């Protein structure tokens, strides 16, 4: 099976509270979604570029939902990229670990009945995590990135990118604030999805990670 390809259709300057980024819009041969890259500084032909592969989360990224840590991870990633002066945030349009917003909302209702995030997805006929990272790899290649330092708590994401030919030289943890609404969600990530998280009691904020707190990738 041939690898999917991406084409950059447009890019434009986006000024933010953390500085100026370039927003790059991609078409692709895998799906009909518009995947994006948010780029600061010079990353072409660069080694050890600070990178976040972020899957779309309308409820967390846009509405500020406390049921997950997505919005906080998005914001912190942009802060860390800005602190380094260069980096890439790839924004993949795969809501709800790939099941889409409608099914994610239905999964939320099951979670309110006592099921965890994995079992809720399974009850709806989905996998625990249906995301694909091949397009993220193609976007990084199109940008000319040579190797990366990946901001993630998910070992699967590291292995998926490496299997696509991306060199992941280090991992930055992205710990989140634990609250009563997301504590179960975060514990499920640790217990059932092998995420590298230290979940502290609800309402206890985890110390902010700096760009110097990286560890070698597995």
Say whether 57 counts as a known binding-site residue.
Answer: yes
Say whether 97 counts as a known binding-site residue.
Answer: yes
Say whether 214 counts as a known binding-site residue.
Answer: no
Say whether 7 counts as a known binding-site residue.
Answer: no
Which residues, including other chains, have CB under 8 Å from residue 52's CB and lie 6 or more apart?
A: 73, 74, 77, 81, 87, 88, 89, 90, 150, 151, 152, 174
Say whether 215 counts as a known binding-site residue.
Answer: no
Say whether 68 counts as a known binding-site residue.
Answer: yes
Compute the distance between CA of residue 119 and CA of residue 112 in angstroms, rounded to an integer: 12
CB contact at 8 A, 6 and 140: no
Say whether 55 counts as a known binding-site residue.
Answer: yes
Say whether 152 counts as a known binding-site residue.
Answer: yes
Compute the distance between CA of residue 144 and CA of residue 18 in angstroms, rounded to an integer: 23
Q: Name the catalytic one among 69, 129, 138, 171.
A: 129
Does residue 129 carry a catalytic annotation? yes
Give the other-Cβ count within 10 Å of 133's Cβ: 21
Say whether 5 counts as a known binding-site residue.
Answer: no
Say whether 96 counts as a known binding-site residue.
Answer: yes
Q: Name the catalytic one among 67, 131, 138, 171.
A: 131
88 is written with which tokens? 């890439």
Closest CA to 28 of 156, 142, 130: 142
Say whether 127 counts as a known binding-site residue.
Answer: no
Beta strands in 63-187 (DSSP E): 87-92, 147-151, 167-172
**Torsion sign across C-alpha atoms 25, 12, 43, 144:** positive
Known binding residues for Zn(2+): 57, 68, 70
Catalytic residue list: 129, 131
Known binding-site residue numbers for GTP: 52-56, 73, 95-97, 117, 152, 157
Residues making up the binding site:
52-57, 68, 70, 73, 95-97, 117, 152, 157
């Amino acid at each position: 099976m041939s690898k999917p390809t991406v084409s950059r259709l447009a890019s434009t300057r986006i000024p933010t509270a953390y500085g100026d980024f370039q927003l790059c819009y991609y078409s692709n041969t895998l799906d009909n979604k518009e995947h994006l890259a948010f780029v600061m500084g010079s990353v072409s032909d660069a080694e050890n570029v600070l990178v976040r592969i972020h899957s779309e989360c309308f409820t967390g990224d846009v509405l500020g939902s406390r049921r997950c840590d997505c919005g906080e991870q998005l914001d912190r990633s942009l802060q860390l990229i800005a602190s380094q002066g260069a980096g890439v945030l790839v924004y993949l349009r795969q809501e709800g670990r790939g099941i889409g917003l409608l099914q994610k909302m239905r999964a939320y209702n099951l979670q309110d009945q006592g099921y965890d995030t994995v079992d809720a997805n399974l009850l709806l006929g989905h996998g625990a995590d249906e995301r694909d990272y091949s397009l993220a790899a193609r976007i990084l290649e199109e940008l000319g990135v040579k190797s990366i330092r990946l901001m993630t708590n998910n070992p699967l994401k590291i292995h998926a990118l490496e299997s696509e030919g991306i060199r992941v030289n280090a991992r930055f943890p992205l710990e989140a604030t634990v609250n009563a609404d997301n504590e179960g969600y975060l514990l499920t990530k640790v217990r059932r999805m092998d995420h590298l998280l230290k979940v502290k009691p609800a309402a206890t904020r985890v110390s902010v990670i700096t760009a110097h707190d990286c560890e070698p990738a597995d």
